Structure 1
């Protein structure tokens, strides 16, 4: 979740979509972070000398920018090339981290950086409650006002695992594109299984799902061609996460998946090349 990683994905590996999790800081800024706390993402424990969880919601953007968000990155050879980039207490630490594009990044900065491209975004609101609603409000303003002229309304899909936030989005920002919630995905699968598709009134634009799911003591294969075909008949994009195996990528592409989310865009590029797409 740094510009070093984003730029590599966009310009080196030519991805079409960035998938981001968003968390709200204490001063009301949305930053890209997989987790609500950052201990596993940067050198916060080394800097502060404690293993106490450091939550994004309890700190300002400028406080977060004191940390090296490349410190925990491990490459395919097992190396951590940015671990020792800066030391705790080093003079000019924040500036050096920024120069190497390893600072925490805001969603506004991301939109600004790629506004003139055709890049699309899948964003997940990680906070619930009041902070989750504030995050939704902020996203709506960025998408429909600040970056409206760059077509963000057709480039950004919003998701959340929180029922309260999903309801808030549907009631207040029905015009924003939304990924199916857990409940909506379950309904989609079950109506397909029992042949009552006609009663499904889904309002989401994409299914963002794993390849299988467990429910009611059973394991469901979510890659069945019937699911994909039914989604496509309703103009719903089928998007699988998180796929880091090349053969599985190729299988899903052949089945008609629209999007494959991966931690390894280089591997996905290889899969596309082997299938003759590049």
Structure 2
């Protein structure tokens, strides 16, 4: 039987960092491959450069796990090499010299096809590609409880501004482990969805991640902070959590699930969305359930 969910249809397929198991994460070639497979939404991660540009990268720091330096932006740049530095230390010109397509993380070395010479894109560039493809954007803001409140608000407003400028406010949601982002988003961009991310670390006793709320009842806390959806890591998902969240009107999007058997178990549990590094695997599972699938969209520039 088809599973009716809170997102208004069936179980949604969200490509994690694009299609991280198949193409380089948080890159335009990766996003193009995800939409050509067919996804409802693409999850991506953003940071803010020293000159105020929203760019894509998973961590606050440029990581050698998936990035490689190619050369300085200017001769004798004292900040070079850039890999290992925080995005907030670097300008867009410096970040754009980094190769984000040649170094698959070890966990995906056997399945990820490299795209050498691919720079980290800006959020505006990602919006142009994904907006034209007609898929939703799930934009995770990388902050932590050590950030000043003003910095969180500035970053949130910058991201919201890019989405609004691209005309994608109605098709985008902001995701954060640092729930102060959700507070800031509710104030500056109430039209955006607000997704409360949760993992074991952020729900530990005495946590500083939940903007002062207690971690014992994450669904209730997410509702109190103004979230419009709850996104727990897969290890946290129980029937009780799903039922509680959905009873409060919060769709449940589970991350990151790559095993087809686990995908099927989550469909049976009635979750609203599954985030995966392998959209092709999840499509196969959803097809077995007879659930509607998102249409593949060809992206000529990357085909």
Same fold (TM over 0.5): yes
Q: Which residue of 2 aligns with 1:123?
A: 139
Q: CA RMSD in A?
A: 3.0
Q: Which runs of 5+ in 1 are unaligned?
A: 86-96, 193-199, 214-221
> CA, structure 1 residues 153+235, in 2 after alignment: closer, same or farther (shift >3 Å)?
farther
Aligned partners of 1:160 and 1:166 also within 8 Å: yes
CA contact (8 A) 2:219 2:230 kept: no
Greater helix share, 1 or 2?
1
What's 1:139 paired with?
159
The alpha-carbon distance between structure 1 residues 56 and 123, as it changes in their structure 2 partners (threshold 3 A), is same
Could you say if the C-alpha distance between residues 175 and 72 of structure 1 is closer, same or farther in structure 2, counting changes exceeding 3 Å?
same
- Which of the pair has more CA radius of gyration? 1
Q: Which moved more, 1:49-58 or 1:102-111?
A: 49-58
Asked whether 1:53 is paired with 2:84, we answer yes
Aligned positions of 1:65-76 closer than 5 A: 65-73=96-104
Structure 2: unaligned runs, 5 residues or longer? 1-25, 73-79, 199-209, 294-303
CA–CA distance in structure 2, aligned partners of residues 190 and 163 of structure 1: 13
The residue aligned with 2:46 is 22
Q: SS in structure 2 opposite 1:180?
A: strand
Alignment of 1:178-197 (within 5 A): 178-180=194-196, 182=198, 183=210, 186=215, 188-189=217-218
User: Of residues 269, 285, 288 in structure 2, which corresponds to 1:271?
Assistant: 285
Q: 2:29 & 2:263 partners in 1: Cα distance?
A: 25
Spell out the pairing of 1:173-212 with structure 2 (5 A cutoff): 173-180=189-196, 182=198, 183=210, 186=215, 188-189=217-218, 201=224, 203-212=226-235
Aligned residue in 1 for 2:127: 111
Q: In the aligned structure 1, how far is the partner of 2:58 from the partner of 2:265?
A: 27
- Counterpart in 1 of 2:170? 154
Q: Deviations over 1:71-103 (max 9, x none)?
A: 1126966377548x4xxxxxxxxxxx2xxxx22
Q: What number of residue pairs does the alignment pair up?
A: 240
- The one of the two structures with greater contact order (alpha-carbon pairs below 8 A, sep at least 6) is 2
CA distance in 2, matches of 1:66, 1:113: 21
